[in-house]
Amino acid sequence: MPKLPDLKPFTDEQLVQLINDCEREQKRRRMELQERGKALIIEIATEHNIDLAKIDFIPKKRKPKYINPSTHQVWSGVGKKPKWLEEALAAGSKLEDFEIHKHVKP
């Protein structure tokens, strides 16, 4: 990594400008990397006769199954239990007590 210049002589405005320039450059590089990645995906898909329109790249969001009635935090029932639910179960509550259909009116 190149040595950074001494920042002490910079004014606050110059430091803000430097930060903004760095963030802009970082965003440009990220976009460039994404574009190269997309091009590579298209190239590989074309080589293997894969129709990208038929591939679902976005994971499906699961509907919530359980709810914390006091905070309205929800959990789909998949993966690790959230802290609020772990604490409630440890305190003696039952999982069924948090089923969303018991707390949300249709």
For 51-102, how does the pLDDT look when each residue is reduced to its tens digit (9 = 90+)?
Answer: 887 777 667 788 899 999 889 999 999 999 999 999 999 999 999 999 998 7
> Which has the higher per-residue pLDDT, 104 or 36?
36
- Rounded to an integer, the average pLDDT of 40-47 is 91
CA atoms within 13 A on the CB side of 1: 3
Distance in angstroms (rounded) separating the CA atoms of residues 63 and 76: 6
Q: Would you say the C-alpha torsion 40, 46, 48, 49 has a positive or negative sign?
A: positive
Predicted local confidence at residue 15, as pLDDT: 94
Distance in angstroms (rounded) separating the CA atoms of residues 50 and 26: 32
* Per-residue pLDDT band at 105 (split at 50, 70, 90): low
Predicted local confidence at residue 58, as pLDDT: 66
| Residue 106 confidence (pLDDT) above 70 | no
For 16-30, how does the pLDDT look when each residue is reduced to its tens digit (9 = 90+)?
Answer: 999 999 999 999 999
> Which has the higher per-residue pLDDT, 103 or 63?
63
Structural domain boundaries in the chain: 12-54, 66-102
